[in-house]
Structure 1
């Protein structure tokens, strides 16, 4: 499977990855940083002083420099925010769907008007190139608009006489106060995925953004302040160990919704279980890409080139694990390495067409590099990339590794710009190996055979299965995981049901 046309700097190697030797396209001038209000937001007001007095340094991952210092909250701020959300709940829940829809449409329009600043904040806080920030902000706005429209329709059983002389009807009611914990990789988009349906149903919110990337969430708060009633949306900055734990174990919270790691999901579940609080968990993934013998290799290589490295691989559904039939594996590897060679590590301000950004924070950079080094130490072959540089920012080259199918890297989430290639001889073997992971979020299969596509798709134990594509994520379709990838649905009309409770009312009208 050794590529025949890889550039000399990316020749296959089993040597340990090196650091400090990465080429980065640097911008002459960084974006102008216009920070949002760096504070908690409780009861419709910014709360600047944290009761604990601690703060977190938010960094520019492309350069490693400090952007801002954000106050860290404690359980006291969580208590205040939950009280504010509980106070606002009754009036918000009683509003008609049309009223709530109107406000969500206003919020979407205000976000759209603020697109440039939101993209700039996302670029500086996450190091994302223009294509990624453009997609993130546009998708977040679309999510608010979709939920604002879809939330005005019902998805329940029709009212009717299912018992003689008794008319049954179903009411969809808000759950109450929702605690939300959102991740560092898609700070605004994941807020939109959770916030839009929960608000549309009539819930009030206490939200903890990642302390690593809070800036676009804090900007969203500034925008929402003049649109949403006080207490409907509250934000407490802080760590998972402090604010996240206080939120998930709070007796005044009716559901905890998390996007994060499996470890974080387990922590939230344990805390929530004490009060039998509902949970909505979108956790990790290890997405296999099955290449059957008749796969269109050009299409597959182009797809993995994009879906494996989008957002520098910091994506729970990334096409990170290629399981290729032995008859096509070598040719595919060559095509993928040639494609990956087009990427340019670049500051977010540069205009590189195939730009790849940094890892978002230092501790995760170390984890990604440890994963690459560990695989190479166990015998993996570096087909391209493999090097890192944390001298100014947190950069990892786009990396393709040839590995054995039983190597630990094929089962554990790297969450970085790393794609592995392994081979199989039998279709059943490929499916078994793809399913032999704790995750069940996204997968794909490439084949020209419709029957094979359906057979394999049905056999794959993943919530989203793509055929001859990867990461097709229309707002109209649900995104949800199986196994340790969690439960609950983001996107689509199904998300509205997840943030609601159903009540059966039976009316006896016998005379």
Structure 2
């Protein structure tokens, strides 16, 4: 059956009102903005090139500018990182850990500024930005402890009269490309383990959302030796491409789209450098017939619409057993109807902000429009909201057929698709029938079924009766088109280091 087979199927397409902030001071004062130049060798500099406006997505007004870097800027930053790498890599774990803890403290001391700057840059509600900043602090504190407690294969005689020692060494210089949806947090997920492992780095934040990365560099400049952390802003086709192909960069790490990951991997192949890719997702949410439907819907209110759905692990693709589809849809629509939409300064209870750019706004609306033309039913939302700002109503698309574009491609907005399945085997087959495999969730009260399903879903993280709960101690990364490599946890330290075997002949 399809969900619309019932005449009582849940539908609520009334557009929510956008709550606007009263006339007040701006989120960030001009003197609080970071310098607009690149941060290279411990100082800010601008070596020519174009300037690009930074747009507030709630108002569509420019409020800052950044420099669009060139290949020469990248070369200067890599040279600085090369000069700094030996001394930084030779520090003992205790010394690097103490510096990471100082970084965490500095971010904590200035957390209010980072929250406001992130919300100004991306339009995020304060709840999302606060969580980003708190998670950034936790990431640096975890890595400070983890680097002092790494484990390896035990030293011993594995060949007669020969003692084997396994060493973990820094890679050298790491190039980093981070996305626009979590500018500060995704930078921290890379910077913390890269520095912890003893590497230096050059990071390129998304050109549309570079401000918190630049502010991070500014506020930690007195803590890190010059050249250890370098920031070059600009376009991926220029700055990112040069980092990926640069012969003196030992590894390139990217969080971004599948297309960006392919481009980086191709460029990196020319110098055989290591590659770390955390790419897109299309997380299936498998709701079995015995699930607690109300609890699942309440959880998806956050898991599907956090950061306006601009989240690679978002619970964006629901597969629900046909016998409970109508009831579950009603619960989910009820939750979506309650989501407050608005600007960050409109209240701490705002849950949905704008999409980050006009281009992305148009892209998300295009997916919705094409789905409706193809016969998909809009159960909630389904439209743009009156401007200014790039606001899209939280949307639930029902009656989605197998193989539909909206159920296979990453929309990356406040849009959830609803499909039905008839039996457990079909649920798993459909869950895996997408080219990416970052995250998924399983909803059931049957412990045996939960283990069976989680073992068969092809995703790097599978939650049971939960979704989008992330722990710094646990690895994050995907399978298939979602890339390879792991962020967070001890596994990230492994990714950003290399093993060396030293064997001593001690025969007498």
- Superposed, which structure 2 residues align to 1:238-387 within 5 Å? 238-351=234-347, 353-387=349-383
Give the ranges of 4+ consecutive aligned residues of structure 1 lying more than 3 Å apart after TM superposition: 1-10
**Aligned match for 2:406, one of 406, 409, 429:** 409
Give the one of 58, 62, 66 matched to 2:62. Answer: 66
1:461 match: 458
What is the aligned partner in structure 2 of residue 480 from structure 1?
477
Aligned to 2:423: 426
Q: Distance in 2 between the 1:7 and 1:143 partners?
A: 41
Aligned twin of 2:47: 50
**Matched ranges for 1:193-272 at <5 A:** 193-272=189-268
Where do residues 81-96 of structure 1 align in structure 2 (5 Å cutoff)?
81-96=77-92
User: Does the Cα contact within 8 Å between 1:287 and 1:321 map onto a contact in 2?
Assistant: yes
Contact 1:107 / 1:224 at 8 angstroms: preserved in 2? yes
SS of residue in 1 equivalent to 2:434: coil
Cross-structure match for 2:434: 437
Partners in 2 of 1:390 and 1:341 — Cα distance?
Answer: 17
Question: Does the CA contact (< 8 Å) of 2:168 and 2:497 recur in 1?
Answer: yes
Partner of 1:175: 171
Whether the 8 Å CA contact 2:179–2:255 is kept in 1: the answer is: yes
1:138 aligns to 2:134 (yes or no): yes
* Contact 1:57–1:67 (8 Å) recurs in 2: yes
Cα gap change, 1:224 to 1:352, in 2 (>3 Å): closer
For residue 163 of structure 1, report the CA deviation from its aligned partner: 1.2
What is the deviation of 1:473? 0.8
1:139-173 CA distance string (max 9 Å, x none): 01100000010011122101111111111111100
- Deviation, 1:4, is 4.8
Distance in 1 of aligned mates of 2:128 and 2:236: 26
Which string of whole-angstrom CA distances, capped at 9 and with x for unpartnered residues, describes residues 345-392 of structure 1?
110112152531000111111110001101111001000101114731
Are the aligned partners of 1:22 and 1:387 in contact in 2 as well (CA < 8 Å)?
Answer: no
- CA deviations 1:60-113 (Å, max 9, x no partner) are 111111011101110000000000000000000000011000000000000000
Q: Which moved more, 1:440-449 or 1:386-395?
A: 386-395
* Number of the residue aligned with 2:18: 24
Provide the C-alpha distance between the structure 2 equivalents of 1:128 and 1:88, rounded to a whole number of angstroms.
36
Decide which of 101, 104, 107 is 2:100's aligned counterpart: 104
Assess if the C-alpha contact under 8 Å between 2:344 and 2:350 holds in 1: no
Give CA deviations for 1:182-235 in whole Å, capped at 9, x if unaligned. Answer: 000000000010110010110000000000100110110011100000000000
Gaps of 5+ in 2: none
Which stretch shows the higher mean deviation, 403-412 or 281-290?
Answer: 403-412
Task: Give the TM-score of the pair, scaled to structure 2.
Answer: 0.96
